């Protein structure tokens, strides 16, 4: 696959006048810095609003003084509670449900205090892992949405709107640089075709997932070109808040 193949798929979307809502989620924010400056400058140039998944327990007043983004609740401490040998997770059923909900409540309270109306009540579980026993409790705490990774199977679960991310350009298990661009482009082209042809939920905003603190030059370059390509092809940039959660 190539950028040309992605362009052909996007041409089908234009031909059929299909709506492609697009959003950008960036995880693990805690404080300002050069990497965050670059993220915000890139987003401003593209005229999109990044959604920072902020780690509440570590978030600083200095981060709250920055502007140009929406803040989402990224767990509590981003601490792994999974037993040895299992995939990392902070909010799976390795701990009692009341303990997990207590931390989720503290996370929302912390971000609301820091960011005010820029705090979007969407829960982003660290490592994109969460068990279903939490969803109704999260809704009762005031959360409106849940964001993990991969095409959603349903619009809502336990009273929460699911707004996931779908493309992560980082090779976490290998080089920790950019995944093979051909593989990434094949993935997004296939995902968009699945939406267009009715095999996936075409109403779910398509989400790019990044981690600004660990980007190298190839990751920055791919992410910027990817967003620009979709926007130039007619994708609709989306900013999530309590009024626009789809």
Residue 217 lies in a domain: yes
Total domains present in the chain: 1
pLDDT at 241 over 90: no
What's the domain range around 173? 3-237
Residue 198 lies in a domain: yes
Residue 242 lies in a domain: no
Residue 37 lies in a domain: yes
Q: What is the CATH number of the domain that holds 14?
A: 3.20.20.370
How buried is 48 (Cβ within 10 angstroms: 0-12 exposed, 13-18 middle, 19+ buried)?
A: buried
**pLDDT by residue (tens digit) across 2-18?**
899 999 999 999 999 99
Residue 111 lies in a domain: yes
Residue 246 lies in a domain: no
pLDDT at 165 over 90: yes
Residue 40 lies in a domain: yes
pLDDT at 173 over 90: yes
**pLDDT by residue (tens digit) across 103-119?**
999 999 999 999 999 99
């Amino acid at each position: 696959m190539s950028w040309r193949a992605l362009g052909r798929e996007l041409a089908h979307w234009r031909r059929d006048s299909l709506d492609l809502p697009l959003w950008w989620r960036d995880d693990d924010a805690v404080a300002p810095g050069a990497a965050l400056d670059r993220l915000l400058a890139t987003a401003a140039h593209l005229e999109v609003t990044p959604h920072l998944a902020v780690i509440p327990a570590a978030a600083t007043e200095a981060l709250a003084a920055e502007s140009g983004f929406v803040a989402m609740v990224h767990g509590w401490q981003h601490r792994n509670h999974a037993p040895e040998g299992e995939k990392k997770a902070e909010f799976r059923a390795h701990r009692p449900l009341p303990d997990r909900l207590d931390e989720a409540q503290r996370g929302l309270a912390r971000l609301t205090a820091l960011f005010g109306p820029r705090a979007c009540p969407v829960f982003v579980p660290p490592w994109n892992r969460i068990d279903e026993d939490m969803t109704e409790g999260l809704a009762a705490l005031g959360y409106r949405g849940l964001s993990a990774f991969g095409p959603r199977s349903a619009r809502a679960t336990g009273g929460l709107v699911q707004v996931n991310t779908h493309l992560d350009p980082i090779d976490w298990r290998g080089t920790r640089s950019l995944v093979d661009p051909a593989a990434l482009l094949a993935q997004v082209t296939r995902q968009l075709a699945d939406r267009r042809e009715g095999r996936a939920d075409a109403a779910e905003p398509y989400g790019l997932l990044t981690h600004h603190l660990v980007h190298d030059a190839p990751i920055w370059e791919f992410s910027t070109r990817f967003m620009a390509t979709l926007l130039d092809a007619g994708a609709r940039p989306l900013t999530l808040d309590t009024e626009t959660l789809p």
